[in-house]
Amino acid sequence: MPKVLIATEKPFAKEAVQKIKSEFDAAGYQQVWLENYTDPEELRKAAADAEALIVRSDIVDEALFNAAPKLKIVVRAGAGYDNIDLAAATAHNVIVMNTPGQNSNAVAELALGLMIYMARGKFNGKSGTELAGKKLALFGFGYVGSRLAKMAKGMDMEVYAYDPYISSEIMIQQGVTPLNKVEDIFTTGDYISLHIPATAETKKSVNWNLLKLVKDNCILVNTARKEVIDEDALIQALQEKNKFRYVSDIAPDCSEKLMAEFAERVFWTPKKMGAQTEEANTNAGVAAARQIIAFFEKGDTTFQVNK
């Protein structure tokens, strides 16, 4: 039976681990678990005879594929697969999948929590502001963006969205006002929340041309990837707009400078926390296990991303 390596630098919750184990036990698959590792060499060694691999944000690169000659499938238990070298995977005939939507509620809840935290001045005891009646502009209307839209509407926010890959009709059906162009996100939002993947097209795409447009008291929420922001432009926005705030799920590269100069107006989680709930770990981990089993048993490649 196939041998599966589950490798997570940032482990799944215990509950999720039990459920993933049960899926593979029931299918009779061998499992090797590598958790909390710190050296990529540990991953390469563990992958030496694996035919399937489950990861989270773990780096899966050419060196890993070279070290894992039996590997047939990698499933990223999560949405973003910018940690996986797709070209190298394809060159090694390895199928790559993600588990879209499985952790989106957790990420949307974190985005909402970060919005409230910043609106209340990081709970500093002074008067803050409320979300009700404010405009939330979403950059990206996939699983996380649409889930956050639903929550924000429940909080009486006006919700707007821009996503070149999603039709306006879908937004309108969900009570969200479609925006025609990317600039409109930045002129509209009292809150702007980013829900775009990190790709060649999006890296550093939130640049000064866009950030110069934000309202002076705008709160920019980034639970996507730090790479989508042009950090020089972020610094400039904080310098030029004296109520502009930035909150993110993972530290930016310029975190020391931001903390030194704008401590009251910036915040980030100490580790990437968006998908770090029992529920999200279980949903994404079990989906990954089932996708691997369906691939070996039925040749199912539904969620393949390196087609």
Residues at the interface with ligand 3PG (CB under 6 A):
10, 56-57, 78-80, 103, 272, 274-276
Q: Which is nearer to ligand 3PG, 237 or 288 (CB)?
A: 288
Q: Which is nearer to ligand 3PG, 12 or 24 (CB)?
A: 12
What's the closest the beta carbon of residue 95 comes to ligand 3PG, in angstroms? 18
Pair type for strands 30-35 and 52-55:
unpaired
CB of 283 to ligand 3PG, least distance (A): 11
Residue 55 or 214 having the CB closest to ligand 3PG? 55
As measured in angstroms, the least distance from the Cβ of 264 to ligand 3PG is: 27
CB-wise, 84 or 119, nearer to ligand 3PG?
Answer: 84
CB count, 10 Å around CB of 73? 23
Q: Which is nearer to ligand 3PG, 81 or 295 (CB)?
A: 81
174-178 LR contacts (CB < 8 Å, sep 24+)? 174/146, 174/149, 174/150, 175/149, 176/138, 176/141, 176/146, 176/149
Q: How far apart are CA 170 and CA 162, in angstroms?
A: 12
C-beta closer to ligand 3PG: residue 76 or 265: 76
CB 92 to ligand 3PG: min, Å:
23
Least distance (Å) from ligand 3PG to the CB of residue 173? 25
Cβ contact 223:170 at 8 Å: no
Supply the DSSP symbol for 13.
Answer: P
Least distance in angstroms from the C-beta of 276 to ligand 3PG: 6
Which of residues 152 and 284 has its CB atom nearest to ligand 3PG in the complex?
A: 284
User: Cα 163 from chain centroid?
Assistant: 16
Output the smallest distance, CB 271 to ligand 3PG, in A: 9
Smallest distance from the beta carbon of 151 to ligand 3PG, in angstroms?
18
Q: Which residue, judged by CB position, is nearest to ligand 3PG in the bound state?
A: 78
- Tracing tokens 């963006």 back to the chain, one arrives at 145
Whole-angstrom distance, CA of residue 16 vs CA of residue 23? 11
Q: Which is nearer to ligand 3PG, 134 or 147 (CB)?
A: 147
